[in-house]
Structure 1
Amino acid sequence: MAFSRIIGTGSYLPDKMLTNDDLAKIVETSDEWIRERTGIRQRHMAVEGQTTGDLAYEAAIRALDAAGVKPEELDLIVLGTTTPDIIFPSTACLLQHRLGANGCAAFDVNAACSGFVYALGVADKFVKTGAAKKALVVGAETLTRMLDWNDRGTCVLFGDGAGAVVLTADDETGILSTHLHADGGYKHLLYNPVGVSSGFKQNEPNCGVRVLMTGNEVFKVAVKTLDAVVEETLSANGLDKSSIDWLIPHQANLRIIQATAKRLDMPMDRVIVTVDRHGNTSSASVPLALDEAIRSGRVKRGELLLLEAFGGGFTWGSALLRY
């Protein structure tokens, strides 16, 4: 059984930026209030007419270019998103056609903020079993289209963006393991109430395309479950926490990131943090952070990386890889 190895990364952020001071003009909040609770200073927003697929395409092109892989060489495209362009076809299929990679398998994965880690786990299995030789994995979101701009508890948190990686089979090194979990019993703490089959009408309570969240409870469960998945990951690979070179977490909240780093006894200068500049980009946050870390030269070949994420569902997961 081969490993699946990351041979290229890419990311894309829309040009439009929304600072905390900008938000203070449209909702009762302040730069200090947001930074103290989340660590966020600014976030990017897709402009009118710019879709999740548009962001995914830009990140994918950059990842393919970094990998030296042509779109027609791809055997698989898996795209993590909770904000697809349309209900169907999948955004992965739309991306596939736009890239000119027609014929390979292409599908979306919706695991909220854990979407990229889930997509990476799926693609890893395809490559390891020989079902795919080269795979494109994308996390892309336009979460700002799903916000209630009167709700300061949620509208200050999210931003738009996309990140991508290209995987190939390797006999020696790559993704060591992935660990994916979910518990739908927590649905009521973080969700969007709109669906095709649930029959919501516009005059019903809590209707509308928006994020509903009980922030304090989400925080408590996130810290607990991320602790558990870190332990699971290390145990599955027979490793001590001191073996990890870099933590690349989902960028939801600086306090959650700091809690996970503390659990690993890892100094914050070994943790990739982008939440201050990107906000919570959901499925896009981990690949965005990974691409930034690699292109800046901080993460180097041969180093051991721990990726982890937590999202609505609840879903959570991790990936341990030798870059």
Structure 2
Amino acid sequence: MSCKITGTGSYIPSVVTKNDHFQQHEFLNSDGSLFPGDNEATIQKFKAITGIEERRYINDKLNTSDIAVIAAEDAIKNAGIDKETLDYIIVAHNYGDVKAGCIQSDTVPSLATRVKSKLRIKNPKCVGYDVLFGCPGWIEGMIQANAFIKAGIAKKCLVIGAEALSRVVDKHDRDSMIFSDGAGATILEASSEEGGILSHQTATFSFQEAEYIYFGKSNHSEAPEDVRYIKMNGRKIYEFALVNVPKAMKECLEQSGKNIEEVKKIFIHQANKKMDDEIIKRFYRQYKMAPPENVMPMTIQELGNSSVATVPTLFDLVNKGKIADQHLEKGDIVIFASVGAGMNINAITYQV
């Protein structure tokens, strides 16, 4: 028995926010002092490093659970299954539902419960729960769904990654330009076919690395003291990822029994183009190879970093032929990989 992805779906928000949007922002250092240089130079440097030209935000009427439902409906339709036959709904996110104009996260009931309710699923044996695992949350949800299926306690699982980071960014922090909103979903099913999830690796580095991404106060000294925003130590994360992600990917691939020459695509968390490019180079360097052309699809230039949503959204777009010069064929070997708050790293080797 294998565990195969039988359906994919995603929601890409309609509000397009280009880099020019940040021209009038007042960017400050963490101590409240004015960031040196003009915004144009800051934006151009940001683009050169991250590759981001624009990002997507949800409109004021939507919350994270809403876009999770849209992606889920897309995946259910693509799989052609009866939603009442789902055994688990696993929703990966980090900040819950944060309504437009509100400063409080809402996680009760869980987002998975809200998704199940909005999907109008009646079956009480369909269990919903949330995963808080940083940006690698969707991959970790897939690993858990795989375990349920392999243990014989589930046959069909819906795994969603959804986030609305635009609701938790500090507009005075340059890092706010990185983050975006979105949702991606997959149906994972027990199958008699070969392939599916072949291996996986997960690690949590928290001895010194736990606070690389955290919730902190605004860079503006006059902002309310009790309001917190997503914050990160970009340099530390960059250095950490370059050392640890390639190792995890190599361990995962070797565990699968597949060869590096068989890998057709690598779906990596869309965090930072420069960082992702270097991770792939270092991964292949372990095999004394250069990365093959087109091995790493990218969406960060248009969609930004939507945390847990980046990998399932990217996979959905490639799976449905919506990214130029990127496609999948039955039997292809691919790797999913991510790094994020925790600091958590994970990877999956998967055969289409």
> What's the secondary structure of 2:45's corresponding residue?
helix
Checking the alignment, whether the CA contact within 8 Å between 2:90 and 2:141 is kept in structure 1 is: yes
Shift, 1:101, TM fit: 2.2
Checking the alignment, whether the CA contact within 8 Å between 1:78 and 1:107 is kept in structure 2 is: yes
Question: Counterpart in 2 of 1:322?
Answer: 351
Percent of pairs with identical residues:
29
**Inter-partner Cα distance in structure 2 for 1:126 and 1:270:** 30
Question: Counterpart in 2 of 1:301?
Answer: 330
Which of 145, 165, 174 aligns to 1:123? It is 145
**Inter-partner Cα distance in structure 1 for 2:113 and 2:311:** 22
**Which 5+ residue runs of structure 1 have no aligned equivalent?**
195-201
Q: In the alignment, residue 111 of structure 2 is paired with which amino acid?
A: T
Kindly tell me the number of residue pairs found equivalent between the two proteins: 312
Which of 278, 283, 294 aligns to 2:303? It is 278
**Inter-partner Cα distance in structure 1 for 2:259 and 2:333:** 12
Question: Counterpart in 2 of 1:198?
Answer: none
Aligned-residue RMSD, C-alpha: 1.6
2:139 is the alignment partner of 1:98: no
Q: In the alignment, residue 118 of structure 2 is paired with which amino acid?
A: R
User: Stretches of 4+ moved more than 4 A in 1?
Assistant: none
Deviations 1:62-93 (A, max 9, x none): 10000001211111111110021222111011
**Inter-partner Cα distance in structure 2 for 1:229 and 1:242:** 18
> What's the secondary structure of 2:177's corresponding residue?
coil
**Inter-partner Cα distance in structure 2 for 1:160 and 1:166:** 21
> What's the secondary structure of 2:143's corresponding residue?
helix
Which of 156, 172, 180 aligns to 2:177? It is 156
> What's the secondary structure of 1:267's corresponding residue?
coil
**Inter-partner Cα distance in structure 2 for 1:319 and 1:67:** 21
* Counterparts of residues 21-170 of structure 1 (less than 5 Å): 21-28=20-27, 29-30=39-40, 31-85=43-97, 86-102=106-122, 103=124, 104-152=126-174, 154-170=175-191
Checking the alignment, whether the CA contact within 8 Å between 1:20 and 1:34 is kept in structure 2 is: no
Q: In the alignment, residue 9 of structure 1 is paired with which amino acid?
A: T
Which of 205, 213, 226 aligns to 1:190? It is 213
**Inter-partner Cα distance in structure 2 for 1:215 and 1:284:** 20
Shift, 1:268, TM fit: 4.5
**Inter-partner Cα distance in structure 2 for 1:248 and 1:165:** 14
2:334 is the alignment partner of 1:312: no
Question: Counterpart in 1 of 2:240?
Answer: 221
**Inter-partner Cα distance in structure 1 for 2:269 and 2:18:** 20
TM-score, length of structure 1 as denominator length? 0.93
Shift, 1:193, TM fit: 4.3
Question: Counterpart in 2 of 1:266?
Answer: 291
Deviations 1:242-278 (A, max 9, x none): 2211011000000121112212232341211011111
Question: Counterpart in 1 of 2:103?
Answer: none
Say which one has the larger Rg. Answer: 2
2:284 is the alignment partner of 1:257: no
> What's the secondary structure of 2:81's corresponding residue?
coil
**Inter-partner Cα distance in structure 2 for 1:321 and 1:27:** 44
Q: In the alignment, residue 44 of structure 1 is paired with which amino acid?
A: R
More helix by share: 1
**Which 5+ residue runs of structure 2 have no aligned equivalent?**
28-38, 98-105, 218-222, 285-289
Shift, 1:183, TM fit: 1.7
Q: In the alignment, residue 71 of structure 2 is paired with which amino acid?
A: A
**Inter-partner Cα distance in structure 2 for 1:216 and 1:17:** 28
